[in-house]
């Protein structure tokens, strides 16, 4: 992510999109009951959303990450959604092959901590090694990351218990956008769903958000995506993201957008002068989200700060 604030982009976002309903998750939400009574909605899935892990050898990050995973497992989740930036950084010009391999080796070892759980990942902007001296090298760009994260492709979808999950690749031109191939795929994927299908869409960059108005870092093609979602109002769509390390919730045109904070917080470091507390990125503590998905298409997104 970048801390550069593009004021023109913020003005265009506010003018062009117009958030109709916005609420910040300042309080802790009541956790729904696992067993539904006769007049209660039925939960069909419980999913952990971890994002911006930024695994690295420094700051005892691997051991701290492992402790986070052990805590998450106590929530009895069905599977994990990993929102990108799994490693600290491979995208800077000074990053060497050795440093990239070191980070992915740590990720592979850390992944053993939740062996037995399915993990569905998306690409983060820091995951790709663009400085590879030869573009034909197997470590260059997205294919290497897809292999490391055992993804079926850079974008894909799957079904679980009546829910349709869409995993997007935000990392295209203009940083935070869908390319033409992916747009066509997404249009067809949504069109193939029956009326009433509940959909959970995960991207690395937020599609819409409150904090992105101040910070930047949202999808630059948010207008296209929201227009597409409008054409599919017969489905129930919820979106989750990361990237900006800030906790954020927004609603627009019947779609909820949850941006969850980074598991790494301030990249596993203590923070800076803008951090509200140790390891916070600005006002947001390091943490993870537990999502309860219900039969009626509704979602409870509950954020859990951690102290590791």
| Report for 36-45, 109-118, 294-303: range of highest mean pLDDT | 294-303
Kindly tell me if the per-residue pLDDT of 178 is higher than 80: yes
Q: In what order do the strands lie in the sheet with 236-241?
A: 21-22, 248-252, 255-259, 236-241, 198-202, 163-167, 156-160
* DSSP conformation letters of 110-141: HHGGGTTS-EEE---TTS--TT-S-TTSTTSH
- Residue ranges of domains in the chain, CATH in brackets: 7-23+42-305 (3.60.21.10)
The mean pLDDT of 180-209, rounded to a whole number, is: 97
Spatial CB neighbours of 282, under 8 Å, sequence gap ≥ 6: 245, 246, 274, 275, 276
Kindly tell me if the per-residue pLDDT of 187 is higher than 70: yes
pLDDT tens per residue, range 282-305: 999 999 999 999 999 999 999 999
Residue 174's pLDDT band (cuts 50, 70, 90): confident
Kindly tell me the number of DSSP H helices and DSSP E strands found in the chain: 7, 12
> Which residue bears the tokens 């989750």?
240
pLDDT tens per residue, range 123-157: 999 999 999 999 999 999 999 999 999 999 999 99
**pLDDT mean across residues, the chain:** 89
pTM: 0.88
Kindly tell me if the per-residue pLDDT of 90 is higher than 50: yes
- Measured CA to CA, the distance from residue 58 to residue 48 in angstroms comes to 25
Record the tokens describing residue 50, joined without a space.
């971890």
Q: Which percentage of the chain shows pLDDT scores above 90?
A: 83
């Amino acid at each position: 992510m970048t801390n550069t604030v593009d004021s023109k982009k913020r003005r265009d976002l506010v003018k062009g999109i117009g958030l109709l309903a916005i609420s910040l998750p300042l309080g802790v939400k009541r956790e729904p009951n696992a067993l539904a009574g006769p007049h209660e909605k039925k939960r069909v899935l419980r999913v952990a959303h971890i994002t911006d892990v930024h695994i690295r050898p420094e700051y005892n990050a691997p051991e701290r990450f492992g402790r986070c995973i052990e805590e998450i497992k106590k929530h009895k989740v069905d599977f994990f959604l990993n929102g990108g930036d799994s490693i600290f950084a491979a995208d800077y010009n000074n990053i060497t092959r050795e440093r990239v391999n070191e980070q992915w080796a740590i990720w592979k070892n850390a992944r053993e901590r939740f062996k037995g759980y399915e993990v569905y990942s998306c690409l983060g902007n820091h995951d790709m090694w663009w400085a590879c001296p030869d573009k034909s090298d197997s470590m260059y760009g997205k294919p290497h990351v897809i292999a490391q994260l055992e993804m079926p492709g850079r974008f894909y979808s799957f079904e679980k218990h009546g829910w349709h999950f869409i995993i997007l690749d935000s990392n295209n031109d203009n940083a935070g956008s869908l390319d033409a191939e992916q747009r066509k795929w997404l249009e067809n994927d949504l069109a193939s769903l029956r009326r009433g299908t509940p959909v959970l869409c995960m991207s690395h960059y937020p599609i819409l958000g409150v904090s992105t108005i101040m910070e930047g870092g949202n999808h630059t093609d948010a207008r296209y995506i929201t227009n597409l979602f409008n054409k599919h109002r017969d489905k129930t769509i919820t979106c989750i993201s990361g990237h900006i390390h800030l906790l954020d919730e927004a609603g627009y045109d019947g779609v909820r957008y949850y941006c969850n904070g980074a598991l790494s917080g301030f990249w596993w470091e203590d923070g800076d002068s803008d951090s509200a507390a140790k390891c916070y990125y600005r006002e947001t503590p390091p943490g993870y989200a537990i999502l309860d998905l219900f039969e009626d298409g509704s979602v409870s997104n509950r954020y859990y700060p951690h102290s590791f």
